[in-house]
A and B are shown apart, each in its own frame.
Chain A
Amino acid sequence: MKAPTDMPKISLAKTFLGFLFVAFADLAAAQGKLSGETPTIVIDKGIASATPITVVPFHFEGVTLPPETDVSDVISNDMNRCGQFRVLAKQDIVETPTRGSEIKFPTWNMLKQAYIVVGREIEQPTGDVRVEFELFDVAKQQQMLGLAITGQKTGLRDVAHQIADLVYEKITGVRGAFWTRIAYITSTGVGNNIQYALMVADSDGYNPQTVVKSREPLLSPTWSPDGRKIAYNSFERGNSSIYIQEIGTGAREVVSANKGINGAPAFSPDGSKLALTLSYGGNPDIYIMDLASRNKVQITKHFAIDTEATWMPDGQSVIFTSDRSGKPQLYQASPSGGDATRVTFQGEYNANASISYDGKHIAMVQGNGNVYRIAVLDRATGESKAISPGNLDEHPSFAPNASMILYAATEGTRGVLYAVSADGRVRQRLVLADGDVREPSWSPYRQRGQ
């Protein structure tokens, strides 16, 4: 897939806890910018259909040093990377109102802005910061939002993502998914020194935290619907086993360690069941485990490889990968068993489904020859469209609001993660400082206190 010519060139670079966070800029250029202290967002070419919005730098009112996090930068980056918005570049922000009453609407009208966000960060006696913000419709000169969120001075990225979510929802009518997390697997070192880790980070790649480390392969992390647990496949016991681990406490348990493959876990939408792949019956089949009783129901009974089950949002069926027709294709079956129906017909290889929250779209790995890309299938039309340009792209994972898709790509001999807008027009790369990154999984919406 050739990149559309109207693809925006966004570059943003900032070092944070060893992370390079780069969007659509070649690495040399990005590294050049890393030496600068101020992260920059540059849009060389806008998207005609993206909504223009200005996020004016927030004013800090306090007696101590301003917080490390630039709240308006985090919001701007969120709005840019989702693909539906085009944020006015910082150098083009000619006036810096910090409250609605200070906005001179003709200025922003002239700059062809549809919306403007202003705000201020007020230091509290406790040391916390109260972030007050307002969203205005520029043409109507009307306030759409006027709210405040208080957070710790060191936790302002969380506050900024929550503001971005509120702004996104007010304008699009769809809940924002910036204040979410991602899980992924890293591997570092080679040969006998190889080390695998299951990591959790903010949805933009910041604040990476290790959930578990292993000298043996880890794969297929997947979130429980309450966002408190992750199920994954680990070889720590010498063969694949499925663990469920609480992120908060680190407590974990083995839920499946049968002979053969124990893989591809997926929580049911109500969290009571786990779909998984087991091969102790002779070949990989899909089973549904009731997590309370640990009883299992085998739902595929085919000599083919059946794996990578994922639940439809209503919990009434699962979509899985099977090579029963030769090459892998997606199929749909009831969680109580019965016949499976084929879902994909375009492309010689379709596997590893991620389903949008409304069940209308399926992101998957589509292979043709030696090229594997992420494609999105529209279930109404049956048409699928590639949204990634790589050769070995895999493991798509929809954001909980389906605005973006996270996936793994290969660059050189290392794996990297990309977040791509659901239409494929805006891509952003999340690069870990060293090692291989893969198997991304987007968390559900977060609840406060998580």
Chain B
Amino acid sequence: MKFPIRVLLTAVIASATLVACTGSKTKPSGPSGPGPSGPNGPNGDTGHGKYTVDSLDTDSCLRQRVVYFDFDKSEIRGEFQAAIACHAEYLKQFRGARVTLEGNADERGTREYNMGLGERRGNAVGSALGAAGASSSQTNVVSYGEERPVCKDHSEGCWQKNRRVEIVYTSKQ
């Protein structure tokens, strides 16, 4: 009955490794105390902020994850400054948090040019987050150009929904 023993052994080693990892992670790693979200890692909450990880789902400002743009423009409109400030604040508070800024364009114009336009919009949001305190290592821009429309009608009503940057959290803390 060699086989079951080997399986068991593997399982024991695996759980031992798991325990070891978990153990090292729960050790205090700096002067900052535990934040409201519970145990904090080296990249976690600094403990002085106003947000918890749950705020991403509950805070009305942080729940705004889409920034819309004017045609052929990458300037951030005033109405989105507040949301960007909130996300920058969150990123400042949770240095381990990471966002992908997905840039998109409407269908007008050529696909590869729109790839550039989507990136320019993603970069605009990235710069605004940076200016408000987020670190550049926390943001990553991916442009989808006009390849990922949320609306497929050929009208301004639809186009304005597609000219957007989506803020996608790939790591929350």
State the CA gap A219–B112 with chains docked (Å): 9
State whether the Cβ of A134 lies closer than 8 Å to any Cβ in chain B.
no
The main secondary structure of chain B at its interface with chain A is mixed
What are 26 residue pairs bridging A and B, where the CB atoms are less than 8 Å apart in the complex? A220-B112, A235-B147, A239-B142, A240-B143, A260-B119, A263-B112, A277-B112, A279-B116, A283-B116, A283-B119, A283-B120, A284-B116, A305-B113, A307-B112, A307-B116, A321-B110, A323-B113, A328-B110, A349-B109, A351-B109, A351-B110, A392-B154, A394-B111, A395-B110, A410-B107, A438-B111
B144 at the interface (CB under 8 A from A): yes
The minimal Cβ–Cβ distance linking A386 to chain B, given in whole angstroms, is: 16
- Interface range for A: 35 or more
Q: Quick one: which of A238, A307, A367 contacts B115, CB cutoff 8 A? A: A307
| B134 contacts chain A at the CB level, 8 A cutoff | no
Contacts of B116 in A (CB 8 A): 261, 277, 279, 283-284, 305, 307, 323
> In the complex, what distance in Å separates the CA atom of A150 from the CA atom of B112?
43
The answer, yes or no, to whether B79 is at the interface (CB within 8 Å) is no
List the 6 shortest-distance A-B pairs measured between CB atoms, nearest first: A305-B116, A217-B147, A352-B110, A284-B116, A264-B112, A351-B110
Question: A351 to B142, Cβ gap below 8 A?
Answer: no
Q: How far is the CB of B137 from chain A (nearest CB, A)?
A: 12
What is the interface of chain B, defined by CB distance below 8 A to chain A? 72, 107-113, 115-117, 119-120, 123, 141-145, 147-148, 152-154
A86 to B145 alpha-carbon distance, docked (Å): 42
Q: Considering only CB atoms, which chain A residue lies closest to B153 in the complex? A: A413
B141 lies within 8 A of A260 (CB)? yes
Cβ–Cβ < 8 Å partners of B143 in chain A: 240, 260-261
Q: Whole-angstrom distance between the alpha carbons of A323 and B143 in the complex?
A: 17
Q: How far is the CB of A221 from chain B (nearest CB, A)?
A: 12
Q: Contacts A239-B142, A391-B154; is A307 near B113 (CB within 8 Å)?
A: yes
B121: shortest Cβ distance to chain A, in Å?
12
Nearest-CB residue, chain B, relative to A265: B112
Task: Judge whether A327 is part of the interface by a CB distance below 8 angstroms.
Answer: yes
Flag if A352 contacts B141 (CB, 8 Å).
no
Q: Which B residues are in CB contact (< 8 Å) with A394?
A: 110-111
Q: Do A439 and B111 touch (CB < 8 A)?
A: yes
> Chain A nearest CB: distance from B148 CB in Å?
7
Q: B152 touching A238 by the CB < 8 A rule?
A: no
Docked Cα-Cα span, A352 to B123, in Å, equals 23
Residues of the B chain whose Cβ atoms lie less than 8 Å from the Cβ of A264: 112
Closest to B152 in A: A413
Whether A85 is near chain B, meaning CB under 8 Å from some CB there, is no
Contact assessment for B142 and A238 in the assembled complex, using a CB-CB cutoff below 8 Å:
yes
Please measure, in the bound complex, the distance between the C-alpha atom of A351 and the C-alpha atom of B145, giving whole angstroms.
Answer: 15
Residues of B within 8 A of A372 (CB): 108-109
